[in-house]
Amino acid sequence: MIESANTDVAPGGLREQKMHRTAARLTSVTRRLTADRGLAGFTIDEVCDEVGVSRRTFFNYFPSKEDAVIGADPADEAQHFAEQFLAFGPSGWSGVLDDLVAMVTAHFETVEHDNVEHGEFMRVLEREPRILSRFIGITRERERAAAELIALREGVAHDDPRPAAVVGIFSIVLRYAGERLLDSGDARDYPTILAETLAVYRDVMAPPTAFQNSRTSKGHSTT
C-alpha cells in the first residue's frame, strides 16, 4: 500500500531522530548504488564510507544490502501506522479514505522527499527481481493488515469485503498520484496531487445522476 518501505515518521526524541536519519541515509546510498550497479556491484564498505559509519553500525540497522534497499523495518512501521489510524475512530468508508490521505499528507510534510531517490528505487525494482518480489510481498502484507485495521476500526467482520475494497482503491490512488508526481517533478505538490487524484476517483465512482439514469432507461450507454 505504501510505495516505499522507508516511510516511518521519526519519533520526537533527538536520539531517535538521529537514528532515523542514519537509516534513511544508508537506504538512500544503497538504493543509488543498486540502481547503478546492481546488488552485486558494490560492497557494504563502500556504503559505509559514503555515509560515514562503520560496518558494525550498518549491521545494527540492516542485516544485508537487500534489507537496506527495502528500508525501515516493516513491523515497526506497521505498529506506528496502526496507532495513528485507530486513533481517528470510526468514520465510514468515505472517511476512511480521507483519513488515509491525511496520514500520507502529514507524513509527506514531516520528512524530506527526493524525486531522484524515488526514481532510483523504481530502477532497483526493474533491475533486481529478488527485491521486486520481496517488495511485492511486503506490499501485499501491508494491504492485508490495513484491511484488518479498517475492519476493526469500522466495526465490521474481518471477512467483510469493503475494507479490502477501500485498501484497493487507496493503493490505486497512491500509485496514480505517484506517477503524476514523477511527471511534474515538483515534490511540494504531492499533497495537492493526492487530494486531486482521490477527488477524480470519487467523481468516477459517484452514484449516477438523474440524467444518467434517464439515458440508461432509454437504452443509451453511459460509457
Which pLDDT belongs to residue 167? 94
**191 neighbors 108 (Cβ within 8 angstroms):** yes
- Measured CA to CA, the distance from residue 223 to residue 213 in angstroms comes to 12
In a domain, 28, yes or no: yes
In a domain, 181, yes or no: yes
Number of structural domains in the chain: 1
In a domain, 23, yes or no: yes
In a domain, 158, yes or no: yes
Inter-CA distances, 145 with 82, 150, 163, Å: 9, 9, 10
pLDDT one-digit tens code per residue, 62-109 = 999 999 999 876 666 677 788 888 988 898 998 999 999 888 887 776
In a domain, 4, yes or no: no
Contact partners, residue 61, CB within 8 Å, separation at least 6: 19, 22, 23, 26, 68
In a domain, 218, yes or no: no
Q: Which of 6-10, 23-27, 202-206 has the highest mean pLDDT?
A: 23-27
- Measured CA to CA, the distance from residue 161 to residue 171 in angstroms comes to 16
Q: What is the DSSP string of 131-146?
A: HHHHHHHHHHHHHHHH
* pTM attached to this predicted model: 0.71
Average pLDDT over residues 114-118: 65
**47 neighbors 33 (Cβ within 8 angstroms):** yes
Which pLDDT belongs to residue 35? 94
Backbone phi, psi, residue 52, to 5°: 85, 40
pLDDT one-digit tens code per residue, 133-177 = 998 998 898 899 999 999 999 999 989 999 999 999 999 998 888
In the structure grid, which three cell numbers stand for residue 27, read together? 537506504
H/E segment holding residue 68: helix 65-70
In a domain, 221, yes or no: no
**63 neighbors 152 (Cβ within 8 angstroms):** no
- Measured CA to CA, the distance from residue 118 to residue 184 in angstroms comes to 13
Query: If you ran DSSP here, which 8-state letter would residue 155 be given?
Result: T
Residue 6: CA count within 13 A, CB half-sphere: 28
Write the CATH number for 88: 1.10.357.10
Show the domain range for 190.
14-207
The answer on pLDDT for 129 being more than 90 is yes
Average pLDDT over residues 50-72: 93
Q: Which of 156-160, 181-185, 189-193 has the highest mean pLDDT?
A: 156-160
In a domain, 165, yes or no: yes
Among 94, 97, 93, 101, CA closest to 162: 93
In the structure grid, which three cell numbers stand for residue 117, read together? 531517490
Which ranges of 88-209 does DSSP label H, i.e. alpha helix?
92-110, 115-127, 129-154, 161-184, 190-205
- Measured CA to CA, the distance from residue 221 to residue 217 in angstroms comes to 10
